Every structure is written in structure tokens, then in C-alpha cells.
Structure 1
């Protein structure tokens, strides 16, 4: 059974959690309990590597950190996943596409 992409338009307003993973490391509980101000935790990612962009824990893209109006931002460098998924969703990009993430203004949400 094929579902027409337009029949799923109602899902576009569903909230999802977008997160960016800077890197990972493995620590013992003893090491975690010893953390404090000035502690250094070395991650498994090099400074020139792209960051993982995830939606609800699933990697969807790779990106890089940028500064935008005094805040951190994210520039999407490539989309990950199956090419057929992107084409079916209307994306059609197989990687290399760039775009800036839109950052919400926290002052605007406080005013509501």
C-alpha cells in the first residue's frame, strides 16, 4: 500500500527533539564523581569533524557549529540516511546541501 506524501501533511506540526552531539566518552562512575570545576573531559571527536544532528535520537544530518547573533547555531552540511528516504520526502538531496538552522528567540517565548 502506497501512502501519498500529502496525506501525511498533518504530521508536520508534531514536536520533535533536535539535538546535536559534540562527542562521546566512556567514564567510570568513580571518574564521574570526581568531576568538578576545571575538570577536562576529552571526547572521541576531533575539532575539525562534523557534529551529529539527531531528531528524537536518530541521526539525520551532519553539521558544524557557528556563531549567530551572540548565540550558538548549527549549519547543516549534509543529510544522512537513505537517498530514497530523502527523495520520497521531497528532499532529494544526497548530501552536500547546506542551510542554516533557524534559532528561536527565547525573549519571544517568554513574552507569550
Structure 2
């Protein structure tokens, strides 16, 4: 039985991983993905953990009485203007800002800035 040839020599894979300068990994203090399965194993444990992601277009403060009187078609004025970036929260923590876009008749957000919160 013969082994099938490796499509990418392991030296090239290592070089590709080492040259990965993805800002997302650096921004969150993570190492780039590794071709070494032993180094990659800790991150695979969290791949299936659900997180809550929110894209906040804006906020408004409204008295309860006014909120109760609202009807379909009424406008609620937000604290943001058209064209301003939206905030992206993961588990109630601000992680990025972005622009709203339309993707196949659904709304999406293109991330334009990663927010670093120094503790």
C-alpha cells in the first residue's frame, strides 16, 4: 500500500503559518493558527461554544408612557446618524465597529475596526 503524497510539503505549511500576520489574532493576543495539531488543540475546544453577538445601530431613552403609546409606523430616534459605524458586542462586550450592509436580502455588518479594551 503506497501513501498518497502530501499536497503541501510540511515546511511550506509551517512557513505559511509563521508568515500569517492576521490582525485579528494579534489584536486579541492569540497565536496564528498552527499546522501542529498539538498547538491547535486548545482552540478547537472552544469552536462550538455559543456566544451572543449583537450589532447595535443606536440607542434611545424613552419614558415608559411614551413607549406604551408607540404604534406601527412611528419613528424612534436613535443617538446615531446615518453612516456612523455600528457597535458589535460579543457577550455584552464591545469588540468591534463596522458598517451595515445588505447580503442576499439580509442585513450584515462589515467589521472596520477591532476595539481593544485594556484591563
- Say what the alpha-carbon RMSD is for the aligned residues: 2.3
From 98, 104, 119, give the equivalent of 1:63: 98
| Distance apart, 1:19 and its partner CA | 0.8
Q: How far is 1:59 from its partner?
A: 0.6
Deviations 1:39-71 (A, max 9, x none): 110000111210000101111000111111111
Q: Select which of 62, 73, 80 maps to 1:27.
A: 62
Work out which of the two has the higher radius of gyration on C-alpha atoms and give 1 or 2.
2
Paired positions, count: 81
Match of 1:90 in 2: none
Q: What TM-score results when the alignment is normalised by the length of structure 2?
A: 0.61
* Residues 43-62 of structure 1 aligned to structure 2 (within 5 Å): 43-62=78-97
Structure 2, unmatched stretches of 5+, are 1-29, 32-38
Shift of 1:72: 1.0
Match of 1:77 in 2: 112
The reply to whether residue 42 of structure 1 matches residue 50 of structure 2 is no
C-alpha displacement of 1:11? 1.8
Superposition deviation, residue 82 in structure 1: 4.1
- TM-score normalized by the length of structure 1: 0.64
